[in-house]
Amino acid sequence: MPEGDTVWRTAHHLHEVLAGRQLTRTDFRVPAFATVDLRGELVDEVVSHGKHLLIRTATHSIHSHLKMEGAWHVYRLGSPWRRPGHSARAVLENDEWQTVGYSLGILEVLARADEPSAVGYLGPDLLGPHWDLDEAVRRVTADPDRPVFLALLDQRNLAGFGNEYVNELLFLMGLLPTRPVGRVGDIRRVIQRGQRMLDVNKARVERSFTGSTRTGEDRWVYNRERARCRRCKNRLLSGKLGDRPTTERDTFWCPHCQT
C-alpha cells in the first residue's frame, strides 16, 4: 500500500532520471489534460509531500497521488512495460528514460504558481526537508477529543502516515485507536516514533515494523485480525473508525497490549 515512504522513494527515483533533462514527449491519458504538451520543458526536480508527488518544471507542476493501486515505473527507452498499457495515465520521456504513471488516483498538470491549490492544505511533511514537529503537534492536539487514530491519519495535521503506519504505530505505543488525543500522555513522542519508522522504511522495498522483512513476520497488527498478538498471544481485534461512515478506515489492535 503506497504511504509516505513509498512516495518519497518514488520521487527519489524519478528525480534521478528526470531532473536536469528536457522532456521529449509527454502523454497525459486523462481527458482534462489530454491536450497538454510539455515537450521542450526542463524538469527542475521531483519531490514528494506526504503521499503526493510533484514533478516540477519552471512553469508547470505535474501533480499525482498513487491512492491504493498507483505506481510510477522507470524504463530505458524502448524497454517493455511491466504493467498493461491501458492502466497508464501519464508517460514522460527524455533522451534516455521513459517514466510511466499507472493507475494514478490523481493526475493533474498545474501552472507552477497554482501548486498550493493541490497541496497547500497539507500539514508538515514527515519526510520533508522542512519537517516541523512543533507544528505537527499543534495541529494534532487542536481537537483533544478526536480519536488518536483519526488525528494521525488526517493529512491536514501531518502528511505521510497511512492506515498501515498508524495501526502499527499505535500498537508500538500501547494506545487504542479510539483513545482521545487529549488522553495521550506524550503525543510528541508518538509522532517522533512514527517519523522514525517512516525514515527507516523509506529506503526499503519491503516495509517492516517488527525488524523482520520475512513475509508474515513484518507486521504487529495490520491485516492480522484474529491472529495472535506476537507479544502477549491474545487474539487481535479489528474494526472501523472514521469521522463519518464514508471515511471509515480499518483498525487493528491488541486488547491486552493497547489501552
Residues assigned a catalytic role? 2-3, 51
Counts for the chain of helices (H) and strands (E), in that order = 6, 10
b/e map 175-206, b = 16+ CB within 10 Å: bbbebebeebeebeebbeebbebbeebbeeee
Q: Can you read off the three cell numbers belonging to residue 39?
A: 515537450
Alpha carbon distances (Å) from 140 to 150, 159, 188, 196: 9, 11, 10, 18
Q: What type of residue sits at position 216?
A: G
Cα–Cα distance, 44 to 74 (Å, whole number): 18
Q: What is the dihedral of CA 109, 114, 118, 121, to 10 degrees?
A: 170
Give me the amino acid identity at 34: A
